[in-house]
Amino acid sequence: MQDMIQFYDANYLIIWAVAWLLLSALFNVLTRFKTPEQWVEFGEKYPRVQNVIRLMRALGIDPVKAIKALGAFLAGKSAATTPDRPPILKNVKTDKEN
């Protein structure tokens, strides 16, 4: 037990960083099961909760996007050739497209 306490004392920042990454990755995976339409409906009912969820996803790591980015990196593709746009936004033009 003493060894575990000493290890924690010496490496607590690394332990908390890894724990945050793992918990945020799990949270992001769990929040991906709703469709964009369901998120819009949820946001209309509970706007503050939806914004907290958005903040938590923004501060954490998104494993699906990380795996896609890693796959594009390993394949040597440009990020511009692998857009990650939700289906609900496919017809929306960005500032670059206007």
Mean pLDDT for back-to-back runs of 10 residues, the chain (98 residues): 86 88 83 82 87 80 77 76 54 58
Radius of gyration (C-alpha) of the chain in whole angstroms: 18
Q: How far apart are CA 24 and CA 66, in angstroms?
A: 13
Confidence at residue 90, expressed as pLDDT on a 0 to 100 scale: 55
Question: Taking the domains of the chain in order of start, what are their residue ranges?
Answer: 2-86
3-state secondary structure string, 5-20?
HHHHHHHHHHHHHHHH
Q: How far apart are CA 64 and CA 86, in angstroms?
A: 13
